[in-house]
Amino acid sequence: MDNIKLYLTRLFANTGRQLSLMEWTDILDILMLTFVLFFIYRFIRDRRAGKLAAGVLVVLAVLVLSEALELNAMRFLLQNVVQVGLIALMVLFQPELRSALETMGNQPLRGIKSLSESKDLAKFNEGINTVCEAAVELSRSRTGAIIVFERDTKLGDIIRTGVTIDATLNSYLVRNIFYEGAPLHDGAVVVRDMRICAAGCYLPLSQNQEITKEVGTRHRAAIGMSEASDAVVLCISEETGIISLAIGGELTRRYNFQSLSKKLKQELTPVDLLKKMRKKGNAAEKQSEDANG
């Protein structure tokens, strides 16, 4: 008990001394570290990495407790485990670390990229409606399909696994690709800039063991693709005809034409188009106010 009191006394004394010596750079350092820790927490919260992280925290808590109680044997063992465990953690968290780095790299670049592109709103909406029409028809006929919408993460490695098409989005073309007798119906279609870039592409399967058993390999591939990139993946079940979307490793199901169109526009509309839409809305509102005034 005396050891714990002595440990806490020293801890609070050192903390008070450090606070008195703090400068603005130290505060900035703490804020940046807080941001990084929050990002890590938010990233692993809904992933398998959360369970591994909980185990690591337990080991660290036991290590701190062994320091406080001067449990020399336990402290020696855990210190060596932690040193070796850093390498083991990099291996265990490899998929999550890769996904996190891709996410961090994509978010600041999304606005810059969108500012340099000019996309016609009518053409964009037409492409979304075409996909939704094809999805509804495929759902009605219970034809399995998977369509990947590329965003900031380039999918060149996925495209190379299929057959390059480079065609305008067309409902009949999409339905023909996934027709059961077609050579490319088993793979995925990749859409880039509202054009069919490739078909018959192979996607990585998700290793998440918590995915419901109600979904099959096609849905697991859709989730896996959304985990490995920022792509939006549209999936249609061959057994039930249910339309689903995989975004960020999460699968949402039972879309119809209206809800699918709304969600795709929400996820895929570039920043520059959103600005144009806001400007049009503000202009229309101003004209209305002038007319009423």
pLDDT of residue 213: 75
Mean pLDDT of 143-167: 92
pLDDT of residue 146: 96
Mean pLDDT of 43-65: 66
Domain ranges within the chain, ordered by starting residue: 2-99, 119-269
**Cα–Cα distance between 212 and 219 in angstroms, integer?**
10
**Cα–Cα distance between 264 and 252 in angstroms, integer?**
12
Question: Residue 211 — very low, low, confident or very high, per pLDDT cuts 50/70/90?
Answer: confident
In the predicted structure, residue 69 carries a pLDDT above the cut 90? no
**Hunting for tokens 């820790």 — which residue is that?**
37
Question: Residue 26 — very low, low, confident or very high, per pLDDT cuts 50/70/90?
Answer: confident
**Cα–Cα distance between 186 and 218 in angstroms, integer?**
9
DSSP 79-131: HHHHHHHHHHHHHHTHHHHHHHHHHHHHHHHHHHHHHT----HHHHHHHHHHH
- Which residue(s) pair with 233 in the sheet? 148, 246
What tokens were used for 113?
A: 């990229």
Task: Determine the straight-line distance between the first and last CA of the chain, rounded to whole angstroms.
Answer: 78
Name the amino acid, one letter, at 73: A
pLDDT of residue 64: 79
237: three-class secondary structure by DSSP: coil
- Under 8 Å between Cβ of 165 and 172: no
In the predicted structure, residue 228 carries a pLDDT above the cut 70? yes
Global pTM exceeds 0.75: no
Angle between helices 271-292 and 94-115 (to 10 degrees): 50
Share of the chain above pLDDT 90, in %: 36
In the predicted structure, residue 262 carries a pLDDT above the cut 60? yes
What tokens were used for 138?
A: 């495929």
Mean pLDDT of 284-290: 59
pLDDT of residue 112: 37
| Per-residue b or e along 181-193, where b marks 16 or more CB atoms closer than 10 Å to that residue's CB | eeebbebbbbbbe
What tokens were used for 290?
A: 């002038």
In the predicted structure, residue 143 carries a pLDDT above the cut 90? yes
Domain with residues 119-269, CATH architecture: 3-Layer(aba) Sandwich (3.40)
For the four alpha carbons of 186, 133, 228 and 96, in that order, the dihedral sign comes to negative
Give me Rg for the CA atoms of the chain: 26
Look at 8-17, 55-64, 161-170, 281-290 and tell me which has the smallest mean pLDDT.
Answer: 281-290
**Cα–Cα distance between 248 and 223 in angstroms, integer?**
8
